[in-house]
């Protein structure tokens, strides 16, 4: 969901901006891979950028923002929230803000509220017992400009002129603070195959929509799967749609996928000749 800047101003007018100290141990947010290695992308492909949180507090409100060089990311499409964010009342992916926090960078940001009701039951806060927990992914799209291939870019702190920097609010409704930010990097690899097994429509999320997409294509009614990788001896195949990893795509993959989604069969996998690089 997207909100206009005006709507956000209204929401924030009702919130308490205390900017207190982070209680207890320092909270942190990591953008990218926890091991410090780059997130791998390639030209004109989906780019799944994870967000991890480590906290000893009860985080019930979050503004999560980072920035990257504008020439490398063509769009930020949506947020894929994990527990507990997927149970929160609101999560808004805001429009990217070009030339923030500095010229040439764009801030990407989402805002989430655990609870917008006055009365219980409240939605679960983020509590990670001071372990790193992946709470969401930014689903973005890499630039179509082949000049980016081979480059590695660092992500950095985002800043929004309306919402400010990355910050958290606690369940007490009063305490807001700035967690530490750990920023990662993205490598735009030449000649790699970037996909999520089973994600036939290539939107970065695997679910029942992908089975429907595959059926429509196989019946000649829908678009072809966007992910076509060169799988060695097998040549180019629709590698994300090849859910059973047999190195070809047909109706068997749809059955395989539906069985998994119903809880009967194994998860989608990939052809041994073209393993995806980011999962």
Q: How far is the CB of 48 from Ca ion (least distance, A)?
A: 12
Q: How far is the CB of 107 from Ca ion (least distance, A)?
A: 24
- 137 is a site residue for Ca ion (CB under 5 A): no
- Choices 65-73, 79-87, 107-115, 253-261; region in contact with Ca ion by CB under 5 A: 253-261
Interacting residue with Ca ion among 171, 214, 244, 257 (CB under 5 A): 244
Q: Which residues pair with 66 in a beta bridge?
A: 108, 157
- 199 is a site residue for Ca ion (CB under 5 A): yes
- 257 is a site residue for Ca ion (CB under 5 A): no
Longest dimension (CA), the chain: 61
What is the end-to-end Cα distance of the chain in Å, rounded?
Answer: 26
| Sign of the dihedral through C-alpha 265, 270, 275, 279 | negative
H helices of 172-232, in order, are 208-218
- 109 is a site residue for Ca ion (CB under 5 A): no
Q: How far is the CB of 250 from Ca ion (least distance, A)?
A: 6
Interacting residue with Ca ion among 52, 253, 260, 276 (CB under 5 A): 253
- 76 is a site residue for Ca ion (CB under 5 A): no
Q: Quick one: 89 or 172, whose CB is closer to Ca ion?
A: 172
| Full strand arrangement of the beta sheet holding 73-81 | 73-81, 133-142, 46-54, 28-31, 180-183
- 210 is a site residue for Ca ion (CB under 5 A): yes
**Per-residue binding letters, 11-50, with Ca ion (x by CB under 5 A):** -----------x-x--x-----------------------
Give the list of residues 6+ apart from residue 127 with CB closer than 8 angstroms, or none: 55, 57, 58, 59
- 143 is a site residue for Ca ion (CB under 5 A): no
Nearest to 273, CA basis, from 228, 229, 214: 229
Instruction: State how far the Cα of 165 lies from the Cα of 183, in Å rounded to an integer.
Output: 14
Q: Which residues pair with 59 in a beta bridge?
A: 126, 170
169 is written with which tokens?
A: 């609010």
Q: Quick one: 73 or 200, whose CB is closer to Ca ion?
A: 200
Q: How far is the CB of 146 from Ca ion (least distance, A)?
A: 25
Q: How far is the CB of 76 from Ca ion (least distance, A)?
A: 17
Q: With left for phi above 0 and alpha for psi between -120 and 50, is residue 276 left, alpha or beta?
A: beta
Q: How far is the CB of 255 from Ca ion (least distance, A)?
A: 10
- 201 is a site residue for Ca ion (CB under 5 A): yes
Instruction: State how far the Cα of 12 lies from the Cα of 19, in Å rounded to an integer.
Output: 14
Applying CB under 5 A, which residues contact Ca ion? 22, 24, 27, 56-57, 199, 201, 203, 205, 210, 242, 244, 246, 253
């Amino acid at each position: 969901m997207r909100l206009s800047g005006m709507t956000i101003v209204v929401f924030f007018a009702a919130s308490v901006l205390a900017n207190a100290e982070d209680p207890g141990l320092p909270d942190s947010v990591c953008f990218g891979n926890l091991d410090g290695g780059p997130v791998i992308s390639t030209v004109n492909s989906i780019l799944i950028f994870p967000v991890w949180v480590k906290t000893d507090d009860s985080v019930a409100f979050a503004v999560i923002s980072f920035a990257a060089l504008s020439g490398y990311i063509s769009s930020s499409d949506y947020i894929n929230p994990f527990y507990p964010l997927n149970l929160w009342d609101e999560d808004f992916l805001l429009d990217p803000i070009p030339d923030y926090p500095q010229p040439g960078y764009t801030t990407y940001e989402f805002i989430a509220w655990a609870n917008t009701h006055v009365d219980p039951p409240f939605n679960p806060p983020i509590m990670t017992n001071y372990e790193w927990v992946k709470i969401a992914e930014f689903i973005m799209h890499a630039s179509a400009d082949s000049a980016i291939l081979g480059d590695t870019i660092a992500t950095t702190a985002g800043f929004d002129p309306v919402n400010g920097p990355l910050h958290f609010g606690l369940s007490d409704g009063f305490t807001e603070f700035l967690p530490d930010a750990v920023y990662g990097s993205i490598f735009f690899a030449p000649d790699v195959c970037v996909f999520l097994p089973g994600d036939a429509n290539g939107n970065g999320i695997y679910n029942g929509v992908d089975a429907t997409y595959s059926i429509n294509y196989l019946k000649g009614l829908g678009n072809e799967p966007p992910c076509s990788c060169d799988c060695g001896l097998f040549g180019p195949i629709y590698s994300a749609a090849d859910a059973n990893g047999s190195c070809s795509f047909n109706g068997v993959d749809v059955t395989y996928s539906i069985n998994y989604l119903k809880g009967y069969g194994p998860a989608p996998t990939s052809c041994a000749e073209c393993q995806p690089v980011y999962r």
